[in-house]
C-alpha cells in the first residue's frame, strides 16, 4: 500500500493525522449513538456560539446504534470543512491561496492514473454477502436530523457516473437514504444541472439502469470536487489531480466499468433504476428546512468494497453554518472573485462575500469594490455575479471597501444610507428558484423579494429539541468547550408536517429504518417525475 509521499497526496487517514497534528481533530472514545446522539453533538459547534476558528473535526471511535448495537468502523465528521483551516489542510495550501489553487487546478488538470489491487477493495461484499449484517446495515451511517429524518443518510458522497455517449465521468455530491441492506433512496435534482441527472436521462432513453458508485471517504482533493460546479465536460478527477499536484489513483469498480478513487475508504456500487421511483425523505436540507417526502431514485446496491481499517465519513449539513456550507464558501467566494475580476475583466472588484448563516450562501451575495470604481463597472459586477451560477443571487449587493461583506449590520447600514432606491436598485424578474424549500412559486427574482412566511412550511432542519438537549448534556459531560446556544438551535414545525412523518423519524432515531424502507418499497410507482411530492400522487 502506497503512503502519502509515494502517491503524491494524502488519503483520508493521512488527512486525519495532519488535522490531529494541527490541533484540529477531537477524538471521542466514549460510546456515541449514531442514530440519536452523534449529529446533534457535532451540531452544537455550529449552533453553540463557538467561533469558526475553534471548530474541530470529530472522530468517533466507539460508535453504537439504537438498541445498543456496536460498529467496528469509526465515524468522522467535520474533517473536510469544519472550518476554513480544516479545508486548507485538505487542499494543502494556506487559506489565502485556496482560490488560486482552484483556478490553477481547473486550468491545468492532471489526468488520473489507473492502478490494480486498490486499497478501497481490500474487503468486498457482493451478492448474498449484501444481506443483513454485511450490507448497508453494517455501515455506521448517522441519522443527520434526529426527530425529522426518516433514515440514516449518506451525506459525504462523491458519486461517480459516466456519460454513456462521451464516456466522460462526473463526480457529484448526492444524498442517499438507507432503505434496505442493498437499497438506497437517492436524491438527484432535476433542475439544477447536475451531471448525474443528465447521465441518467440518457440511460432512461436507452431503457437501461445507470451504473453509479457512491464513494465515501475520498482523498480530500477528490472530496472537494464533488460539491464544486464545474463544466459538464470536465472530469473532476483531473481537477482533483491538479489540486493535489499529482495524478489521482483510480481503479475499475467491481461490478461496472466506472473508475473510482483507489484510495477511498468505502465504495458503494449500484444501478439506478431507469423506470421506478419510490418515496424518499423527509430529510433536513442545506437550505435550512426539511425536504419533505418525495418520489426519488432507487439505487440497487451491487457491491460494497472498503479498506480493512476504513473510516466512515459524514458531513454536517442542514441549517447553516455547517460543514456543507463551509466546503462551498471557502471555494465559491474566490471563484466568484476570479470570475468577475479575471474572467470578465471588471475593474475595482476587491472581494466577494456569500452570506452563510441560515441563508446558505446562494441567496445573499455582497460584492466589495474599490471606492473609485465606475458605476458601469459596479453594475457589470452585479449582473456578472447573478449570472455566474444558476442557483446563486437572490440579493446581490455592491458595497465600498470600507464595508465588510460578512458583517450584515454594516451591509444594511450601507444599503440604508448609501443607496437611493429610486435610482440605485433594479428588480430582475424571471430568475430560477434555485435550491430552496418548496413554496409554490414558479420563478424568483433578484434583489427585492418578500421572504416572509406566506404558507405552511416544512420543519426547521435541526434535530428536535429533546435530542439537542440530550446532546447538550452529553457535550457538557465530555468536558467540551462551553456552549452559547444561538436560535434556532433545535427543529420545530411550521405547519407542514404529519403524524406519519413523525413516526418515520421516530423509527429512524430508534434504529428501525428498515421498516421505513419497507414502507417506501410498498409505495413504488412508475410514471412519476422525480422530486414529486408524495402527497400529490397519493391524493393526501
Ranges for all domains in the chain classified under CATH 3.40.1670.10: 324-446
- Alpha-carbon distance 241 to 101, whole Å? 11
Looking at 139-256, which runs of residues are DSSP E strands?
Answer: 153-154, 157-162, 169-172, 176-180, 183-186, 210-216, 249-252
CA distances for 276 relative to 197, 244, 383, 456, 527, angstroms: 15, 39, 41, 30, 8
All 3 cell numbers of residue 529? 417525475
Phi, psi (degrees; rounded to nearest 5) at 159: -90, 120
Strand-pair partners of 369: 349, 400
DSSP assignment letter at 464:
B
Q: What angle do CA 357, 176, 42 make, to 5 degrees?
A: 40
- Contact 34/152 with Cβ under 8 angstroms? yes
pLDDT at 449: 32
Taking alpha carbons only, the member of 248, 230, 413 closest to residue 332 is 230
The pLDDT assigned to 140 comes to 97
pTM over 0.85: no
**CA 203, 175, 329 angle in degrees (round to 5)?**
115
> What 3 state SS string does 467-483 have?
HHHHHHHHHHHCCCCCC
Give the C-alpha separation, 232 to 26, whole Å: 37
Tell me the pairing of strands 249-252 and 113-114: parallel
Cα separation values, 186 from 291, 294, 295, 447, Å = 13, 11, 10, 33
Q: In the CATH scheme, what is the homologous superfamily, with its name and number, of domain 324-446?
A: UbiD C-terminal domain-like (3.40.1670.10)
pLDDT (0 to 100) of residue 453: 39
CA distances to 371, 422, 437, 515, 531 from 33, rounded to whole Å, are 53, 56, 29, 19, 31
Q: What is the pLDDT of residue 211?
A: 98
DSSP state of 340: I
**Looking at the domain covering 4-319, what would its CATH class be?**
mainly beta
Closest among 251, 243, 181, 253 to 214, alpha carbons compared:
253
Contact call for residues 88 and 94 (beta carbons, < 8 A): yes
What is the signed CA dihedral for 460, 463, 465, 470, rounded to 10 degrees?
-160
Q: Where in the chain is the domain with CATH 2.30.110.10?
A: 4-319
Q: How crowded is residue 371: how many other Cβ atoms within 10 Å of its Cβ?
A: 9
The grid cell for 419 is: 443607496
What stretches in the chain show pLDDT beneath 70? 1, 191-193, 231-232, 432-440, 448-455, 457, 487, 540
Amino acid at each position: 500500500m502506497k503512503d502519502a509521499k509515494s502517491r503524491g497526496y494524502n488519503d483520508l487517514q493521512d488527512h486525519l493525522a495532519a488535522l490531529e497534528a494541527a490541533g484540529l481533530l477531537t477524538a471521542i472514545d466514549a460510546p456515541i449513538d449514531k442514530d440519536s446522539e452523534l449529529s446533534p453533538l457535532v451540531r452544537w459547534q455550529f449552533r453553540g456560539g463557538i467561533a469558526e476558528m475553534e471548530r474541530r473535526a470529530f472522530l468517533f471511535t466507539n460508535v453504537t446504534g439504537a438498541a445498543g448495537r456496536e460498529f467496528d468502523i469509526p465515524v468522522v465528521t467535520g474533517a473536510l470543512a469544519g472550518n476554513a483551516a480544516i479545508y486548507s489542510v485538505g487542499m494543502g495550501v494556506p487559506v489565502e491561496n485556496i482560490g488560486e489553487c482552484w483556478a490553477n487546478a481547473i486550468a491545468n488538470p492532471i489526468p488520473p492514473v489507473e492502478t490494480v489491487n486498490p486499497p478501497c477493495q481490500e474487503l468486498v461484499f457482493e451478492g448474498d454477502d449484501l444481506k443483513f449484517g454485511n450490507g448497508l446495515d453494517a455501515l455506521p451511517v448517522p441519522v443527520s436530523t434526529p426527530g425529522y429524518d426518516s433514515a440514516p443518510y449518506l451525506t459525504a458522497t462523491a458519486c461517480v457516473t459516466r456519460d454513456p455517449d462521451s464516456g466522460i465521468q462526473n463526480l457529484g455530491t448526492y444524498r442517499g437514504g438507507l432503505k434496505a441492506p442493498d437499497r438506497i433512496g437517492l436524491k438527484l435534482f432535476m433542475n439544477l444541472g447536475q451531471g448525474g441527472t443528465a447521465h441518467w436521462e440518457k440511460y432512461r432513453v436507452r431503457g437501461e439502469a445507470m451504473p453509479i458508485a457512491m464513494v465515501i471517504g475520498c482523498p480530500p482533493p477528490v472530496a472537494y470536487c464533488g460539491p464544486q460546479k464545474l463544466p459538464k465536460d470536465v472530469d473532476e478527477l483531473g481537477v482533483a489531480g491538479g489540486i493535489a499536484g499529482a495524478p489521482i489513483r483510480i481503479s475499475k469498480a467491481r461490478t461496472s466499468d466506472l473508475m473510482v478513487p483507489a484510495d477511498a475508504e468505502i465504495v458503494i456500487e449500484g444501478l439506478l433504476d431507469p423506470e421506478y421511483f419510490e418515496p424518499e425523505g423527509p430529510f433536513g436540507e442545506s437550505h435550512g428546512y426539511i425536504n419533505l417526502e418525495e418520489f426519488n431514485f432507487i439505487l440497487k446496491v451491487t457491491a460494497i468494497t472498503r479498506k480493512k481499517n476504513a473510516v466512515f465519513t459524514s458531513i454536517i449539513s442542514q441549517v447553516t453554518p455547517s460543514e456543507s456550507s463551509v466546503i462551498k464558501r471557502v471555494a465559491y467566494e474566490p471563484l466568484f472573485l476570479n470570475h468577475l475580476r479575471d474572467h470578465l475583466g471588471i475593474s475595482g472588484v476587491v472581494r466577494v462575500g456569500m452570506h452563510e448563516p441560515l441563508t446558505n450562501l446562494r441567496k445573499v451575495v455582497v460584492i466589495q469594490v474599490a471606492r473609485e470604481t465606475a458605476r458601469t463597472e459596479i453594475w457589470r459586477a452585479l449582473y456578472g455575479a447573478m449570472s455566474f451560477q444558476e442557483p446563486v443571487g437572490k440579493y446581490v449587493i455592491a458595497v465600498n471597501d470600507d464595508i465588510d461583506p460578512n458583517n450584515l449590520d454594516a451591509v444594511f447600514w450601507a444599503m440604508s444610507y448609501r443607496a437611493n432606491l429610486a435610482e440605485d436598485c433594479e428588480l430582475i424578474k424571471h430568475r430560477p428558484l434555485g435550491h430552496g424549500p418548496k413554496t409554490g412559486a414558479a420563478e424568483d427574482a433578484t434583489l427585492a423579494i418578500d421572504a416572509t412566511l406566506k404558507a405552511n412550511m416544512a420543519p426547521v432542519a435541526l434535530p428536535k429539541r429533546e435530542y439537542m438537549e440530550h446532546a447538550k448534556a452529553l457535550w457538557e459531560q465530555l468536558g467540551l468547550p462551553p456552549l452559547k446556544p444561538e436560535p434556532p438551535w433545535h427543529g420545530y414545525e411550521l405547519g407542514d408536517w404529519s403524524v406519519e412523518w413523525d413516526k418515520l423519524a421516530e423509527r429512524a432515531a430508534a434504529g428501525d429504518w428498515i421498516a421505513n424502507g419497507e414502507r417506501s418499497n410498498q409505495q413504488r410507482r412508475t410514471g412519476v417525475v422525480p422530486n414529486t411530492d408524495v402527497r400529490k400522487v397519493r391524493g393526501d
